[in-house]
Amino acid sequence: MSIIQRAKEIAADLIDTAAWVLQRLEVPSELARLEEAIGSTGEIIAPVCPGGTGQVMIVLSGSRHTFGAKAVDSMQEFQRGEKVKIVQVGQSIMYVGRPTAIETGCVSSAREPDRDSELPE
């Protein structure tokens, strides 16, 4: 084997090693970016069965992204189209829960009358 051929092999190995190191360094920054999703609302696109994994679609930085989804409460299940709240982020999975009535806009604006002020005589 010539010196030039051996030098090319060493250079290729160095490039592969550098790419591997850079890839490992990017994982924490990617996870940090995903943590921005915590508290946001997503939509289930593949059902989450109790203890199982489905899929959720969320919008990050103006773009739609799809992730694996698990229920924070392993006994909960979510159907396709259901709105969920992102509660926790894993390496490539979003842990979801039910949003509150205020977050879904399902809060009635009608108040019940004050019982003491409007009693008939």
pLDDT tens-digit readout, 6-30: 888 888 888 888 777 766 655 445 5
Q: For residue 71, tell me if it sits in a domain.
A: yes
The answer to whether position 17 is within a domain reads yes
Asked if residue 91 belongs to a domain, the reply is yes
Does any domain span residue 27? yes
Q: How many structural domains is the chain composed of? A: 1
The CATH number of residue 20's host domain is 2.40.50.140
In this prediction the pTM is 0.59
Count how many Cα atoms sit within 13 Å of the Cα of residue 60 in the half-sphere of its side chain: 18
Closest by CA to 67, choosing from 43, 97, 100, 103, is 43
φ and ψ at residue 80, rounded to 5 degrees: -55, 135
Q: Quick one: average pLDDT of 42-46?
A: 94
Q: Report yes or no on 110 lying in a domain.
A: no
Mean pLDDT, residues 95-99 taken together: 92
The per-residue pLDDT for range 54-76, each reduced to its tens digit, is: 999 998 878 888 899 999 998 99
Rounded Cα distance, 21 and 10, in Å:
16
Which pLDDT score is estimated for 15? 84
Instruction: Indicate whether 112 belongs to any domain.
Output: no
Structural domain that includes position 72: 3-104
